[in-house]
Structure 1
Amino acid sequence: MTPLYARHKRTTLAIATAVAAGALLTTGLTTGATAAPAQAGSLAAARTAGSPAALSNAARASLIQKAQTDVDATARQIGLGAKERLVVKDVVKDVDGTVHTRYERTYAGLPVLGGDLVVATTKAGRTEHVTKAAKAAIKVASLKPKITAAKAEKQAVSAAKTLGSAKSAADGARKVIWAADGTPVLAYETVVGGLQDDGTPNKLHVITDAATGKKLFEYQGIENATGTGKTLYSGTVSLDTTLSGTTYSLTDATRGGHKTYNLKHTTSSGTGTLFTNTTNSWGTGTASSSTTDVTAAADAAYGAQETWDFYKNTFGRSGIKNDGVGAYSRVHYGSSYVNAFWDDDCFCMTYGDGSSNTHPLTSLDVAGHEMSHGVTANTAGLDYSGESGGLNEATSDIFGTGVEFYANNSSDVGDYLIGEKIDINGDGSPLRYMDEPSKDGGSADYWSSSVGDLDVHYSSGVANHFFYLLSEGSGSKTINGVSYDSPTYDGSTVTGIGRAEALQIWYKALTEYFTSTTDYAGARSGTLSAAADLYGSGSTEYNAVAAAWSAVNVS
């Protein structure tokens, strides 16, 4: 899984896909110190030819259907082998008519892990470029394993136990082609569920070479009327709710049917109990350790609302999967659980109540961070390990920051600090700093050959630093009352292009150029391609992307 923060020796915290690896009704009522309305125009860049076009659900479905119909012809055109097949995962269409189709791949009917690719086709039907997660040709000598599935499962159970799982058996093993690292091989993918020793739901995926029995890879999944909200972190806000008879519920019918549920301090894998009320007022503005506390629910509903609107109004994206369907949120998970996580399996967002059950991890940037893991899972699918894992985490920090600025909330102003409201460290300091990541004591300011060995919450620092420099530039400055002083690896001076354009570049790279195995060099290439598409090769924006990457030692 990917929670908000990493638990090094079970003491430090870092926001993930869980924050850490993956975000109502009738009349508009605004009372008290209501947050200022979101200013979408301040973040949304002009729709250039290379910008993603807004697609209706029907139009998107039609493009996917056409791409799936043409998969055999596409496979031949891009030079895939006779045993390879493509499966359409998603499509993005640009304003100029270019269609970027994201595919998964099979070989002899087996899933190819690391076989994902993106094909860009011009309006005239010409294939413009292909971006592959795996560079090697997909081919294995034999499809007959030399070890049994039972042996692979035993290995996976052992690995899960080291992470605190009490499971004595795996959920199953399947044959796959492992192509994410080096020469493709026949392998088993084994999944073991359960709970980690910190209480976080666990779904460990272990990849085992089917010929030698060697463990090749492992990663954590996750055992994945307008009312008034008086929130803990964002003040008094408007919440879209639903009225049924005389009962209101925290159901946002205007944003894909998002619902907010109460787990009542359990670690249930179910939805829990939907928050309902006889009035359309939610929360008190203060936290309570009671399982009936509604304030955390108000924060969670508000975070989901602002995250949906940020993606919709900034990128034209309708929900996490871009299909108009809302996720759901769960609060009061576990007892004194100091984390939050996105689960792509249940398509839901879950929040713990923090220390003493009175410090819920429901702040705005945490909500945006976690639900953005869902966006990454449903686009590039960045592997949650090594450099790609750092990019996965940074993507959530980048878009979580975007959500916070977008909301334009006077109680939680936009900044380049991550988790500054939830006080996980207990001293008022934020979880992460985007302008100078190393200030948290563990994150990397610059790329080095060993950065991929860090926990993904720390290797993310390189991309976070890049994004800050691209947005705001280097040196000393104050933004919304927060002082920053961002250094550069080479002593260069970087001039920022503004957060709006930086967000557009990162989103386009994520959805059209990044793949599951993208590393920092690939991220530089992908963002330069995105900048060229949006603003032109050699443009101010393009040159700024190159300069910002060089400033964090990525060349």
Structure 2
Amino acid sequence: MILRMHLLTASIAAAVSMLSTTASRAAEQLMAAPVNIASPPEAAGLVARLAALDAARGPATDYSFHISSQHPGVTGQKITRAQHTYKGLRVFGSESVVVTDASGGIISVSTSDRRPALSPNAAAATPLTDTTPVLSTDDAIAVAAKSTAPRGAHRWPPSAELLVYPLMNSVRKATAAGKPESELNATDVEDVVDHYELAYYVKTRMAQDGKPVYYDTVVNAKTGAIIAQWVALKTVVGTGNSQYNGVVPINTTQSGSTFQMLDASRGTGGKFGGMAITNANHSSASNPNPGAIYTNSTNTWGDGKQYINGGSTTNANGQTAAVNALWGLMNTYDANKNVLGWQSLDGNNTSTYIAAHVDTAYDNAFYDDSCKCMYIGDGNTFYSLGSIDVIGHEMSHGVAASTADLVYSGESGGLNESNSDIGGEMVEAYARAGGTGTSIPLTGNDWMMGKEISKSGQPLRWMYKPSKDRSSPDAWSTSLKNLDVHYSSGPNNRMFYFLSQGSNADSTTEYYSKYLVKSPAAMTGIGNDKAYRIWFKALTTKFTSSTNYADARSKVLASAQELYGVGSKEAIAVQRAYAAINVGADIDEAGAGGGGGGGGDGTELVINGGFESGTTGWSGTTGVIGSHTGQTAYEGTRFAWLGGNGRTSTETLTQSISIPAAATSAALTYALHIDTSETRAVVYDRLVVTVKSSSGTVLSTLATYTNLDAAAGYQIRSFDLLPYKGQTVTLSFVMREDRSKQTSFVLDKVSLIAK
């Protein structure tokens, strides 16, 4: 009998708090305040922990990590993006997204691994042995510039990075070998490395013939051949703003008797020290000058009418485009901050700006990552390009660039564009409801990109039925990666609409999907707020630059499970919404199991992970398993209560698990609740989670939790164990408590799904 020095009343209070936390999830901010960038020792420590995992699989001198960015996670957590390196060079599209707690312990790791010899999908590819280039960086830049803008001039300094570039092939999984092409699902295929090339990743931001020509080009570092190339300017071509919003409040700054469109309450630093709207005053789109911040003698701005081409950009008519821009930018900032806790574009509250009146009668608006800003044209065929959804769209490109940085081609490029469409629609819904509050309203947006700004009334994209534009598909197919990214975004846009609003079972409507074959035929949506939280969490904490549709489904599902629980209606809705676009299998809404298995397309490797069968499958201090008074289960009635003794003690739980050699993913998740009686901000009690070899050697320390991590309710933790495919490993939970004051580590719903 293990004594638990824990008050029943306290546990009841914790249980009530947990239920309250779950019930109010939709009103909580998802992300924390700006974070401090890791010090060199902290960064080195994280790299060392990640490298320890690789040491068991290959020569440690060949593989390492480079920390590329850090952003806030949920309260007390930090998101770090670690690029994979091989022989000192970055491997393009290969990286890990690491979520850590306040003490530096790893909570979750989301990985896209394309490294030579380590990638599970690169076994047949020959690693590079010669990493010495023939071309110089200047040579590579010249090749890229000549191929894209031979008569152009560099608007921003070009760059060329020497790296390892994996050339990918899309192949069928063995289970889909006999399927006709027309019946393939996104989860029937996978990207595998065909071979590696030493290459330069060249970024050119040029101007030619009065237009911006922004490209990313991959150049073979030995021969100078162009391996890959894609447009890098993130635009919404042919959109405009019809001054649809009427009279709106805008935040300005007064200096003496002069007012200026500078909002110092939204963002810090940046070019202007706060969020600003400037007057580009018809400077060329090929080399735009943002100009100066808008000023006025009174605090009443604009006339609410479309700009008259050739007129003043500073009188009331010229100010209207700036009013549109400022109102849109304020609502974009507020929607992400008030609802999600995400501040400005990078999460660290760095201010941005929008320049109005770029070029003359310019039918475009674009986000430029070089300045992390946006330029808006006045329109000609269209109205002024400053509508709320267009601004939300372009600023969402900035969020993506600061986080997942999805490569702007193929399926990842479609997801990049879809993320911006999603952001634009959610900002529109927030703004239409008054631009206040801590949740995204269920209604208010029109699910059509650019409708308000179109003189014909026809939007650029219909999110609920992408094929209405006659170019965007409604569902995934193997040809999706060959489309322009504005069209390959279509299926994911439809997925998000279904996730939020649900579908229709009537095949004659535009809200029907033939891929929804389970019950009910019309899937149930979960609303804008929850759908946006799930999507944003996946984007910022799990997506990598090479994420495709199948990978996105897996990571959006994991985010739903972490936010709302395994088997929750929200997790089920994600599976159904992706099934509706031919990504993954459909499932019944009632009684679906979830559990990270993707609706039955995965294999559960943990025996008795919910502890409902007592000690079956587990070894160690199995007396911690039960339905003890003083704690509650995450699901069912039983759980494992490690700690809670208030005296010196060590308790362990272990299970041996064999991960199939043919696995393409192996996702470990568990629910963990921590409470403590410790009152000082000092580490006294610990729970360490490791993966060990069959001989007992620690292969990796997945996470370390302490009394400092105590929080109300359970939290879902997730890890990638695919590096151990083909091995029999031991999953180990070891708790150590000091001599006084209890800390409880309550474990439930341990799951390892292999696909």
Q: How many residues align?
A: 493
- Output the CA distance in 2 between the equivalents of 1:88 and 1:160: 28
- Output the CA distance in 2 between the equivalents of 1:93 and 1:466: 25
- What whole-Å deviation, never above 9, does each CA across 1:21-43 have from its counterpart, x for those lacking one? xxxxxxxxxxxxxxxxxxxxxxx
**AA at the equivalent of 2:206:** G
- Contact 1:71–1:86 under 8 Å retained in 2: no
- Output the CA distance in 2 between the equivalents of 1:66 and 1:542: 38
Shift of 1:134: 3.3
Alignment CA distance shift 1:242-1:122 (3 Å): closer
Aligned residue for 2:342? 317
Which of 278, 285, 293 is equivalent to 1:274?
293
- Output the CA distance in 1 between the equivalents of 2:569 and 2:265: 38
Which of 513, 519, 523 is equivalent to 1:488?
513
**AA at the equivalent of 2:225:** K
Shift of 1:318: 1.0
Shift of 1:110: 3.8
Shift of 1:99: 4.5
* 1:262 aligned onto 2:279: yes
Which of 244, 260, 271 is equivalent to 2:255?
244
**AA at the equivalent of 1:188:** Y
* 1:370 aligned onto 2:394: yes
Structure 1 or 2: larger helix share? 1
Shift of 1:476: 8.3
- Output the CA distance in 1 between the equivalents of 2:387 and 2:142: 40
**AA at the equivalent of 2:279:** N
- SS of the counterpart of 1:355? coil
Residues 160-199 of structure 1: matches in 2 within 5 Å?
A: 160-161=148-149, 165=152, 171=158, 173-179=160-166, 181=168, 182=193, 183-195=195-207, 199=210
* 1:86 aligned onto 2:66: yes
- SS of the counterpart of 2:206? strand
Alignment CA distance shift 1:124-1:50 (3 Å): farther
Shift of 1:157: 2.3
* 1:515 aligned onto 2:544: yes
- Output the CA distance in 2 between the equivalents of 1:51 and 1:247: 36
Which of 438, 456, 460 is equivalent to 2:485?
456
- Output the CA distance in 2 between the equivalents of 1:45 and 1:488: 31
Shift of 1:145: 1.5
- SS of the counterpart of 2:347? coil
- Contact 2:149–2:207 under 8 Å retained in 1: no
* 1:352 aligned onto 2:380: no
- Output the CA distance in 2 between the equivalents of 1:529 and 1:359: 41
Shift of 1:419: 0.5
Alignment CA distance shift 1:365-1:180 (3 Å): farther
- Output the CA distance in 2 between the equivalents of 1:94 and 1:209: 41
- What whole-Å deviation, never above 9, does each CA across 1:419-460 have from its counterpart, x for those lacking one? 11110xx42111111111101111110000001111100110
- Contact 2:96–2:111 under 8 Å retained in 1: yes
- Output the CA distance in 1 between the equivalents of 2:82 and 2:378: 39
Shift of 1:253: 0.9
Aligned residue for 1:204? 215
- Contact 2:242–2:383 under 8 Å retained in 1: no
Aligned residue for 1:24? none
Which of 95, 118, 124 is equivalent to 2:97?
118
Aligned residue for 2:576? 547
- Output the CA distance in 2 between the equivalents of 1:327 and 1:487: 40
Alignment CA distance shift 1:344-1:550 (3 Å): same
- What whole-Å deviation, never above 9, does each CA across 1:146-167 have from its counterpart, x for those lacking one? 34555533431232138x8467
- SS of the counterpart of 1:271? coil
- Output the CA distance in 2 between the equivalents of 1:172 and 1:126: 35
Shift of 1:494: 1.4
Alignment CA distance shift 1:435-1:196 (3 Å): farther
Aligned residue for 1:76? 51
Which of 214, 230, 233 is equivalent to 2:225?
214
Larger-Rg structure: 2
- Output the CA distance in 2 between the equivalents of 1:433 and 1:343: 25
**AA at the equivalent of 2:249:** S
TM-score, with length taken from structure 2: 0.61
- Output the CA distance in 1 between the equivalents of 2:28 and 2:568: 14
- Output the CA distance in 2 between the equivalents of 1:469 and 1:205: 33
Aligned residue for 2:534? 505
Aligned residue for 1:535? 564
- Contact 2:70–2:80 under 8 Å retained in 1: yes
- Output the CA distance in 2 between the equivalents of 1:430 and 1:258: 29
- SS of the counterpart of 1:238? coil
Which of 442, 445, 449 is equivalent to 1:418?
449
**AA at the equivalent of 2:128:** V
- SS of the counterpart of 1:317? coil
Residues 379-458 of structure 1: matches in 2 within 5 Å?
A: 379-408=403-432, 413-423=444-454, 426-458=455-487
Shift of 1:338: 0.8
Unaligned 5+ runs, structure 1: 1-43, 225-229, 478-483
- What whole-Å deviation, never above 9, does each CA across 1:252-278 have from its counterpart, x for those lacking one? 111111111111111244321221000
- SS of the counterpart of 1:116? strand
After alignment, is 495-504 or 408-417 more displaced? 408-417
- Contact 2:234–2:397 under 8 Å retained in 1: no
Which of 296, 306, 327 is equivalent to 1:302?
327
- Output the CA distance in 2 between the equivalents of 1:460 and 1:235: 31
Shift of 1:129: 4.1
- SS of the counterpart of 2:474? coil
- Contact 1:442–1:458 under 8 Å retained in 2: yes
Alignment CA distance shift 1:375-1:166 (3 Å): same
- SS of the counterpart of 2:83? strand
Q: Which has the higher contact order (CA 8 A, sep 6+)?
A: 1
Alignment CA distance shift 1:178-1:291 (3 Å): farther
- Output the CA distance in 2 between the equivalents of 1:124 and 1:266: 50
- Contact 2:406–2:545 under 8 Å retained in 1: yes
- SS of the counterpart of 1:380? coil
- What whole-Å deviation, never above 9, does each CA across 1:282-324 have from its counterpart, x for those lacking one? 1100022224111000000111100000000111011111112
- SS of the counterpart of 2:393? helix
Shift of 1:491: 4.7
Shift of 1:67: 4.4
- Output the CA distance in 2 between the equivalents of 1:533 and 1:496: 18
TM-score, with length taken from structure 1: 0.81
After alignment, is 201-210 or 72-81 more displaced? 72-81
Alignment CA distance shift 1:283-1:510 (3 Å): same
Alignment CA distance shift 1:475-1:528 (3 Å): same
- SS of the counterpart of 1:237? coil
Shift of 1:113: 2.9
Alignment CA distance shift 1:111-1:50 (3 Å): farther
Alignment CA distance shift 1:238-1:219 (3 Å): same
- Contact 2:450–2:460 under 8 Å retained in 1: yes
- Contact 1:435–1:468 under 8 Å retained in 2: yes
Residues 114-153 of structure 1: matches in 2 within 5 Å?
A: 114-121=93-100, 127-137=106-116, 140-149=128-137, 151-153=139-141
- Contact 2:94–2:115 under 8 Å retained in 1: no
**AA at the equivalent of 1:349:** M
**Cα RMSD for the two superposed structures:** 3.2
Alignment CA distance shift 1:123-1:329 (3 Å): closer
After alignment, is 209-218 or 370-379 more displaced? 209-218
- Output the CA distance in 2 between the equivalents of 1:519 and 1:386: 8
- What whole-Å deviation, never above 9, does each CA across 1:497-545 have from its counterpart, x for those lacking one? 1111100110000001110000000010010000010011111111110
- Output the CA distance in 1 between the equivalents of 2:53 and 2:149: 43
**AA at the equivalent of 1:348:** C
Residues 217-228 of structure 1: matches in 2 within 5 Å?
A: 217-222=228-233
